[in-house]
Structure 1
Amino acid sequence: MDEFTPPRLQALGNQLIEIHQQLRALLANAADISDVSQHFRNHCLAFCSALDRHHTGEERGMFRVLAERHPELRPVIEELRRDHEQIAELLRRVAAAPTRAELDGLAAVMESHFAFEERRLVAALNALT
């Protein structure tokens, strides 16, 4: 059975916002650590892993369903996929050598991506039946 059954789809837009809020909180926790230590590195790696899993899930499920049911969103989905590639590169850099500058750059790109995604997809996700 498809992972996206109708009850799951009906709340998916709201769930997307909740997941983004959780990822924002993870990033804020990493940014609150004042020194580049193992603790800081662990927080960065946990955040990178969570964000990567989130984007992989979007690519494999949500984007496919939206593209099928809302073909007019395909250009938006392609832009979001390009964002995912850019963010994946930033995640690799942060994971390799987490610094405050790398984390701040990732946070700026991520926030822009999340805001765009929420603006463009939440209504369509919540309208799916």
Structure 2
Amino acid sequence: MHEFTPPRLAALGNQLIEIHDHLRDLLDDAADLPAFSRSLRAHCLAFCTALDRHHTGEERGMFQVLADRYPQLGPVIEELRHDHEQIAELIRRVEANPTKDELAGLAAVMESHFTFEEKRLVAALNQISPRSA
């Protein structure tokens, strides 16, 4: 879970992109694993856990910081929360049946979510300085 202490807030938008890129890489790595293998199942579980942890951190910290400082982002934050619910459902499906098709579906939704989040939040996050936290 992300901690939102003043030093952590410096360039948080850039850090968000780095976290998303790491999650993208994890998912790309799964594409190289054999279907229905133990390795694919283990990789999917690790990826799903990391993605869930990332979204939980956003819900408990980042979204509240943004809502407090930028009330105009309220509709964006609500849409992202809705995305998190949809992604959580897809994660449950992948955990129950980690096939390449389920993973591809999750990847498509996740990429759309990450791209939207980056376009709408990174600039605001990068404006938050340790002095204003």
TM over 0.5: yes
1:80 is matched with 80
1:100 is matched with 100
Q: Distance in 1 between matches of 2:35 and 2:9?
A: 41
Q: Distance in 2 between matches of 1:93 and 1:8?
A: 33
2:35 is matched with 35
Indicate if the aligned counterparts of 2:11 and 2:125 stay in contact, CA closer than 8 A. yes
Q: Which runs of 5+ in 1 are unaligned?
A: none
For the residue of structure 2 that corresponds to 1:33, the secondary structure is: coil
Question: What amino acid sits opposite 1:17 in the alignment?
Answer: I
Indicate if the aligned counterparts of 1:6 and 1:128 stay in contact, CA closer than 8 A. no
TM-score, scaled to structure 2: 0.93
TM-score, scaled to structure 1: 0.95
Question: How many residues are matched?
Answer: 127
Matches within 5 A, 1:1-129: 3-129=3-129
> How far does residue 7 in structure 1 lie from its aligned partner after superposition?
2.7
Q: Distance in 1 between matches of 2:97 and 2:66?
A: 36
What is the alpha-carbon root mean square deviation over aligned residues? 0.8
Question: What amino acid sits opposite 1:101 in the alignment?
Answer: D
